[in-house]
Amino acid sequence: MVKKHESNNRIDSNCISEIDENPGFYGKDTFLGTDPAGDDLADNFDIDLPAVSVGTPKKRLQPKNMGAWLKQYALANRNTTVTGAFVAALLPHDEYHEKTVKQAMLDLGQKGDVLTCVYCEGIPTTWDHLTNSVQSHKANGPGHRVYNLVPCCTTCNSSKGGKNFQDWILGYTNTAGKKIPPTIRVQAARREHVVQSLIAYQKKCPPRSDADLELEEKLMAMRDRVWAIFKEADDLVAKVRPRIEKSRRYK
């Protein structure tokens, strides 16, 4: 599936989505964003992470902007995307049963078929994985389980991203020692209740089996071989087509 920029109907080759082969890979009509050189934007992410906006730009394109596209493409920059593909294949999933899903929504405090975003209580547009699926280039969380999915609006889904839901709701201290405040998407009076409700909800996910862990080990070994092939290809390109020295570039 190829997305077009709405502003000029131009097809951007960096906006190619893998949804066509796996509709549940990044979520409906979304893709993992990349920069013009093909660099992945996230190492830890949820597969339903919303797309980077490709709507009307805030600033008009200028000639100097071309520099961002005049770069050597590197296959190794797709390592995160490759990991996401392997993780999407190996994580366990539940089969859809209407009765099970309806019970899960009742356990979540939802009222019948009229769902609300579990975070802001707005109109939900997608299903959020409570625990993101990829962490430090490895599979993470329960997977595609009923009790790991909650109704969520686009804004909350985008704001939470791949963060731990407890950290996002209550605030946390990042690895640099900076205190990150609680999200404003969840009302202060509701935060502790929402967190406790979601913890109890997610505990109903079955644990990953020994077979799941064995499969992960094998698939991650295959992923590493793909990475090695990417590195080999990049080295070959660098040898045959050396990077242009700055002095030889167009002024």
126 has which bridge partners?
Answer: 152
- pLDDT of 112 > 90? The answer is no
- pLDDT of 20 > 50? The answer is no
Report the chain's mean pLDDT, rounded to a whole number. Answer: 79
> pLDDT of 186-221, one tens digit each?
999 999 999 999 999 999 999 888 998 899 999 999
At 241, is the pLDDT very low, low, confident or very high (cuts 50, 70, 90)?
Answer: confident
DSSP class of 248: G
> pLDDT of 136-150, one tens digit each?
778 888 989 999 999
Higher pLDDT, 31 or 190: 190
Indicate the pTM of the whole model.
Answer: 0.67
CA–CA–CA angle 34, 69, 35 (5° rounding): 10
Exposure string for 61-85, b = 16+ CB within 10 A, e = fewer: eeeeeeeeeeeeebbebbbbbbbbb
What's the pLDDT score for residue 44?
55
What's the pLDDT score for residue 31?
34
- Give dist(CA 163, CA 125) in Å, integer: 19
- Structural tokens at position 174: 């990042």
How many beta carbons lie within 10 A of that of residue 223, not counting itself? 20
Higher pLDDT, 22 or 240: 240
At 28, is the pLDDT very low, low, confident or very high (cuts 50, 70, 90)?
Answer: very low
| 44 within 8 A of 135, measured Cβ to Cβ | yes
